[in-house]
Structure 1
Amino acid sequence: MAFFLATGAGALPEGMSGFKIKVPDSATKVLSDKPKRVQALLQQYGQAISRSRTAGRRVSFRVDVDPEGDMVVTPVEDEVLAAPTVAEHASTADAGLEQALAAARARGRSKAAEILERGDMLSADEFARLLGTTRVTINTKRQNGQVLGLDGAKRGYRFPDWQLDSDGKPFAALSILHERLGGAWAVYRFLVQPHGELDGLTGREALERGRTEEAISAAESVGRDFR
């Protein structure tokens, strides 16, 4: 091992005229005839420490060395090469979350549009004719939760033609389902999906078989799960 003594006013902390650095023998042979280059490198390192302390963050400088030992030290850079700060991590996480939510919303809109295009989805006028009433009455019943109407945005509300009982009237439990589940699309999902509480029947199948109380109970369970 060998020792190098580095000096130079302005390059060292106040009160210090020099310091020793332990260097392996293999490096000593290469560096011993290049004291000025070693000094330049150490000065650049000292400047980097001072810059980092002032900025309160990590900074960097670059050293390019050729096979002959000549080197070029690039001045301290302004950009931060450290790992992202907590704030940057949070910002990245927020951006990722927002992208995921946007993608989910897009998929939801696409799926909703697909559902509303099906042949069993009627317009307000078509559904009114099916029930022998008026569009105004249908919209009033939709607002009261007495019939199921799904918002189709561009094409207006759509009404499933299968929400009728054996007498050709809307299921009597629809208003209660709207109350328990909180929205038309939630009611739709409940009616088309199978439920363990209903022995694997969909909500619609349970209503068609007269198992109204069981269907309402299952809806209450679903509603609690999502509160």
Structure 2
Amino acid sequence: MTASKSTTGVRSGAGRRARTAGKTTLTMTTFFVGPDQTLPKGSAGFKVELPGTASQLLTRSRRHMKALLQGYGDAIVKSRAAGRPVSFRVEVDPEGETVVTAVEEAIAARETVQAAAAPDAELTAALAAARERGRLRAAEILGGDDMLSAKDFAKMLGTTRVTVNAKRQSGQILGLDGAKRGFRFPVWQLDAEGRPYCELAALHERLGAPWAVYRFLVQPHGELDGLTGCEALERGKVQAALEAAESIGRDFR
């Protein structure tokens, strides 16, 4: 590579062909010339205008320019051989040190990831069936005799629907959302005195969603010696119930 004194433009031209170990290679020569200068006779190339500072930095280091051109050339060869776009990365620090990474087949890699992430037809059908079963089961639960409307639950508590919904939103009352029936409130969430268990807010905090609280209250748990969450609250095992809910909630975070 030959550099001239002028550094305001860059031209690249082709050099000679050489034979190495029986192989023919093309030797390239890059000329750094000013905008009003011309390439040596017999050279073909193109001109790229660069800011003065960038041009000066390029002309100072043949090594940096060589690495850049080599990476670009490798990318062209790789792209033509693969029949698709490829990429390479150039990192430059404030001192002008340049690092050109190996050619990466970014497009191919992305397509591979997308193909792997594409949902399988059988899996999609299985998930849809599971969601439908869940929807039907939820409708069955919400249609049970132990589920009250906000109006009826408010009447049982001696309060208003507005208060019931406010307490539901704060987690002080368990309300389950039904798409067609609206919110339904399990009657068994009331303690012996006819008031919602005061631990419901803590259960919502630990378990997150109302349906998760519902499952905790109706399903038996090994941590509670086989009792359901509701049975544990009825028997005064409040701390054990809260610890079990904390463990379950932590497992799903």
The offset of 1:100, in angstroms, is: 2.0
Q: 1:224 to 1:88 in 2, by over 3 A?
A: closer
Instruction: Render the CA deviation track for 1:125-170: whole Å, top value 9, x for unaligned.
Output: 0000000000000000000000000001111000000001111100
Q: What CA deviation, in whole Å up to 9, does each residue of 1:158-195 have, x standing for no partner?
A: 00000011111000100000000000000000000000
- Which residue of structure 2 lines up, in the alignment, with residue 177 of structure 1? 203
- Distance, in Å, in 1 between the alignment partners of 2:208 and 2:113 is 37
TM-score (norm 2): 0.54
Identical positions, percent: 69
Q: Give the equivalent residue in structure 2 for 1:112.
A: 138
Take 2:117 and 2:194, find their aligned partners in 1: how far apart are those partners? 55
Distance, in Å, in 2 between the alignment partners of 1:177 and 1:91 is: 35
Instruction: Quote the residue 2:47 is aligned against.
Output: none
Distance 1:91 1:146, change over 3 A: closer
Q: How many residues align?
A: 146
Q: TM-score, normalised by structure 1?
A: 0.60
| Shift >4 Å, 4+ stretches | 86-93
Q: Counterpart of 1:215?
A: 241
The equivalent of 1:168 in structure 2 is 194
Match of 1:100 among 126, 134, 140: 126
Q: 1:99, 1:173 → 2: CA distance?
A: 39
Displacement of 1:89 in angstroms is 7.0
User: Where does residue 147 of structure 1 map in the other structure?
Assistant: 173
Q: Find the aligned partners of 1:96 and 1:89 in 2 and give their Cα distance.
A: 15
Q: Residues 77-105 of structure 1, C-alpha deviation per residue, up to 9 Å, x if partnerless?
A: xxxxxxxxx79974875333322221111
In the other structure, the counterpart of 2:185 is 159
Q: Structure 1 stretches of 5 or more lacking a match?
A: 1-55, 57-85
The structure in which a higher percent of residues are strand is 2
Counterpart Cα distance in 2 of 1:109 and 1:200: 27
Which residue of 2 is the match for residue 77 of structure 1? Answer: none
Alpha-carbon distance between aligned partners in 1 of 2:168 and 2:242, rounded to the nearest angstrom: 19
2:218 pairs with 192, 216, 220, which one? 192
